[in-house]
């Protein structure tokens, strides 16, 4: 029996995209074990997977600097893993894989396609070709270690929609890590106003942090059928709630991938980034995307570069009425 350790510390969306590979591995190699090494709060992402998928939490603040990573590597090596899968390829994971190689353990490293990403986002002569999706990159890394998998064997989780629902339930996650990914909040507010006119529709708002909580609670105060979930539930509870939604409206963000894990259709809004970069993940059938057709897109892989024109037209060009109409078409085809 092989014992495999797969490393992916962050971000939430990237870790969520490992689930298809983990579940596929579990089905293809039921006699082998695979463990995901990540931050403690990621654990709900891999709950309810087959019993040969495990989670190993690590608080990285407890292992600072080279000395701390050496100590972590020794602890991991003492757990007798045969293979290390580096799905992150950052300084921390590079140090860990160095010690694994030195101990004679097999190591496989993800190919992030950094050169292709630069060609996709450069200002002139962009090569607008689809890059390898991130879940496929995870699968390819396993294959390089001698464990080819079939991602199609991963099962989509279905939300608990038992019984007759009294209303159409729409989840909205208006936020993302970087400005180039966030549809302007006044436009999102206008969309919520349109949707909330139908009292048979219930809208749930998702987010985190004090500023996001303040914005969502302001929308809640404006409409009796709008509920802010910010700060009210754990990740595991949010996944369950997302599974109830008829559609999740998201940015190019972790919530897009969480909704997919919950088996819920998404309408994702894209700005500076682009699905061609491979970060669309594995959406549920029926999911849709909205994006402006501009020559400058994509200008960034992660949405963290400032708009060179200063107006983020890639986002402002998308209108609330069009978004509301697309949402209603998804929930009432």
244 and 106 housed in the same domain: no
141 and 174 housed in the same domain: no
199 and 265 housed in the same domain: yes
146 and 193 housed in the same domain: no
305 and 193 housed in the same domain: yes
203 and 323 housed in the same domain: yes
Instruction: Give the pLDDT of the chain (333 residues) as one tens digit per residue.
Output: 999 999 999 999 999 999 999 999 999 999 999 999 999 999 999 999 999 999 999 999 999 999 999 999 999 999 999 999 999 999 999 999 999 999 999 999 999 999 999 999 999 999 999 999 999 999 999 999 999 999 988 875 655 554 567 899 999 999 999 999 999 999 999 999 999 999 999 999 999 999 999 999 999 999 999 999 999 999 999 999 999 999 999 999 999 999 999 999 999 999 999 999 999 999 899 999 999 999 999 999 999 999 999 999 999 999 999 999 999 999 987
194 in a structural domain: yes
Cα 21 to Cα 45: distance, rounded to the nearest angstrom: 13
For residue 217, how many other CB atoms are within 10 A of its CB?
A: 16
| Sign of the C-alpha dihedral computed for residues 111, 112, 114 and 116 taken in this order | positive
For residue 239, how many other CB atoms are within 10 A of its CB?
A: 23
252 in a structural domain: yes
54 and 181 housed in the same domain: no
Boundary of a domain, candidates 152, 176, 202: 152
Listed in sequence order, the residues at least 6 apart from 211 whose beta carbon sits closer than 8 Å to its beta carbon are none
Boundary of a domain, candidates 152, 177, 212: 152
Q: What is the pTM of this model?
A: 0.95
253 in a structural domain: yes
9 and 135 housed in the same domain: yes
What ranges make up the beta strands (E) of the chain? 3-7, 33-38, 53-57, 83-86, 106-109, 168-173, 201-205, 226-228, 247-251, 266-270, 288-291
162 in a structural domain: no
112 and 250 housed in the same domain: no
Cα 249 to Cα 205: distance, rounded to the nearest angstrom: 10
158 in a structural domain: no
279 in a structural domain: yes
* Cβ atoms 108, 145 nearer than 8 A: yes
Torsion of CA 298, 290, 137, 43, to 10 degrees: 120
45 and 138 housed in the same domain: yes
Report the candidate in 54, 53, 76 with the shortest Cα–Cα distance to residue 63: 76
DSSP state for residue 180 in the 8-state scheme: G
Structurally, the chain folds into a number of domains equal to 2
178 and 320 housed in the same domain: yes
State which residues form the domain around 61.
Answer: 3-152
Listed in sequence order, the residues at least 6 apart from 210 whose beta carbon sits closer than 8 Å to its beta carbon are none
Boundary of a domain, candidates 152, 176, 193: 152
161 in a structural domain: no
302 and 237 housed in the same domain: yes
Q: What is the CATH number of the domain that holds 172?
A: 3.40.50.2000
Cα 2 to Cα 295: distance, rounded to the nearest angstrom: 48
* Cβ atoms 172, 242 nearer than 8 A: no
């Amino acid at each position: 029996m092989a014992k495999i350790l797969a490393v992916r510390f962050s971000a939430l969306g990237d870790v969520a995209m490992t689930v298809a590979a983990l579940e596929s591995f579990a089905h293809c190699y039921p006699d082998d074990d695979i463990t995901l090494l990540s931050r403690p709060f990621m654990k709900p992402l891999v709950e309810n997977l087959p019993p040969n998928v495990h989670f190993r939490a690590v608080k990285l603040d407890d292992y600072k600097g080279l000395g701390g990573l050496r100590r972590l590597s020794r602890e991991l090596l003492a757990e007798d893993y045969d293979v290390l899968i580096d799905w992150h390829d950052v300084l921390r994971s590079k140090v860990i894989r160095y010690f694994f190689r030195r101990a004679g353990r097999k190591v496989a490293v993800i190919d992030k396609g950094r050169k292709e990403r630069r060609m996709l986002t450069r200002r002139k002569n962009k090569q607008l070709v689809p890059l390898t999706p991130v879940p496929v990159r995870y699968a390819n890394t396993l294959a390089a270690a001698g464990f080819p998998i079939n991602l199609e064997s991963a099962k989509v989780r279905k939300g608990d929609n038992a019984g007759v629902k009294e209303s159409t339930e729409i989840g909205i996650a208006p936020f993302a890590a970087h400005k180039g990914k966030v549809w302007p909040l006044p436009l999102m507010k206008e969309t919520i106003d349109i949707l909330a006119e139908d009292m048979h529709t219930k809208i749930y708002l998702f987010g985190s942090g004090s500023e996001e909580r303040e914005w969502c609670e302001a929308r809640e105060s404006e409409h009796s059928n709008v509920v802010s979930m910010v700060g009210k539930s754990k990740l595991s509870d949010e996944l369950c709630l997302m599974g109830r939604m008829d559609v999740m409206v998201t940015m190019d963000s972790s919530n897009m991938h969480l909704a997919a894990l919950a088996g819920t259709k998404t309408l994702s809004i894209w700005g500076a980034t682009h699905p061609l970069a491979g970060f669309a993940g594995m959406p549920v059938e029926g999911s849709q995307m909205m994006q402006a057709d501009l020559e400058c897109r994509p200008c960034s892989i992660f949405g963290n570069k400032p708009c060179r024109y200063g107006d983020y037209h890639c986002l402002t060009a998308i209108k609330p009425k069009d978004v509301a109409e697309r949402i209603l078409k998804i929930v009432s085809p």
